[in-house]
Amino acid sequence: MAEAYGTGWGTFQTLIPNVAAALRQAKSVFVLTGSGISAESGLPTFRGVGGLWRTHRVEELASPEGFARDPVLVWTWYNERKGAHEGAQPNAGHDALAQLERFSRDFTLATQNVDSLHLRAGSRNVVELHGSLREARCTHCDARRPFEAAGLPLDEIAHSCGGRWRPDIVWFGESLPAAAWQRAREAASRADVILVVGTSAVVYPAAALATNYNRAAFVAEINPEPTPISDRVACTLRGSAADVLPRIVEAISRDETV
């Protein structure tokens, strides 16, 4: 059950040192992130105000069936998203998680994001649960090709083997990459502290990593809005990732732990 909620700086003053203390003592840290961490880099979330799935049809743009029906439409959309990712910069939340990794003996960051901003911020042990927009792969054979900054040219969607190039990401109805899922599940299971940042925690199986594989870990959620897991975590910090995460890292650096 939830022990504490942070709703403003007053409450944060108590909660942040608690989270920092838990992180400082942890032998193993697991972080799960979602699109909310990139919101302050100017990238839209999926379900919030201005969210992608409020204005776009998920079944047309993010499903194997939608791609089979209209690959040009799908690539046009992903090329636009790739352009937005290229134009965005990691924010203070991404930077703080990269810094946190340097304090930690065993640190794994599993992200549902395909924007590469954690890697660009310097995080190293990153598991991309939903793939990335760095590469395209063939629907038919094992071929891969880099996904250019300008996107995949729309006249190059056909692959010579008879398949089609598609973004190397996970679409609805598809399984997560097996190796990524196993790495993330193992890391979540052995963690002493789990941070859940900027995700609505409604898309499975990724959301299960927050609370389903480890009943002993201290779980802290960082999100301005409540989510279905808010009542099941030890601590909820109701703030933005770019505000809260640097404060936690600063508290660890200053050893303001309790």
The one catalytic residue among 56, 130, 140, 159: 130
Quick check: is 56 catalytic?
no
- Of 225, 228, 231, 258, which one interacts with ligand OAD (CB under 6 A)? 225
Residue 224: CB minimum distance to ligand OAD, A: 5
The CB-of-155 to ligand OAD minimum distance in angstroms stands at 26
Complex with ligand OAD: residue 50 or 146, whichever CB lies closer: 50
* 31 three-state secondary structure: strand
Give the integer Cα–Cα distance in Å for 185 and 180.
9
Residue 36 in contact with ligand OAD, rule: CB under 6 A: yes
Evaluate whether 34 touches 199 at the Cβ level (below 8 Å).
yes
Two tokens at 79? 């090329």
- Neighbouring CB atoms inside 10 A of 10's CB total 8
From 95, 100, 198, 214, residue interacting with ligand OAD (rule: CB under 6 A):
198
Residue nearest to ligand OAD (CB): 36
Quote the least distance from Cβ 249 to ligand OAD, whole Å: 15
Tokens (6 digits) for 167: 């973004």
The least distance separating ligand OAD from the CB of residue 172, rounded to whole angstroms, comes to: 6
Least distance to ligand OAD from the beta carbon of 220, Å? 12
Residue with smaller CB distance to ligand OAD, 28 or 197: 197
Q: Does 35 bind ligand OAD (CB under 6 A)?
A: yes
User: Which residues within the stretch 112-171 sit at the binding site for ligand OAD (CB under 6 A)?
Assistant: 112, 130, 170
Dihedral-angle region of residue 116 (phi above 0 means left; psi in -120 to 50 means alpha; beta otherwise): left
Listed ranges 43-51, 115-123, 150-158, 211-219: which one lies at the site for ligand OAD (CB under 6 A): 43-51
The answer to whether 223 contacts ligand OAD (rule: CB under 6 A) is: yes
Q: Is 51 exposed, middle or buried (0-12, 13-18, 19+ CB in 10 A)?
A: middle
Residues 177-206 as b or e (16 or more Cβ within 10 Å = b) = beebbebbbebbebbbbbbbbbbbbebeeb
Q: Is the Cβ–Cβ distance between 187 and 24 less than 8 Å?
A: no
Strand order across the beta sheet in which 144-146 lies: 144-146, 131-138, 165-169
Question: Binding to ligand OAD by residue 96, rule CB under 6 A?
Answer: no
Q: Which of 73, 84, 143, 203 binds ligand OAD (CB under 6 A)?
A: 203
The number of C-alpha atoms within 13 Å of 67 and in the hemisphere containing its C-beta is 21
- The H-or-E segment that residue 17 falls in is helix 9-25
* Shortest spacing between CB 42 and ligand OAD, in angstroms: 11
Binding residue (CB under 6 A) for ligand OAD from 28, 41, 116, 227: 227
The Cβ of residue 42 has, within 10 Å, a number of other Cβ atoms equal to 11
Contact positions toward ligand OAD, by CB under 6 A?
Answer: 34-37, 39-40, 45-48, 51, 62, 112, 130, 170, 198-200, 203, 222-225, 227, 240-241
The catalytic residues are: 130
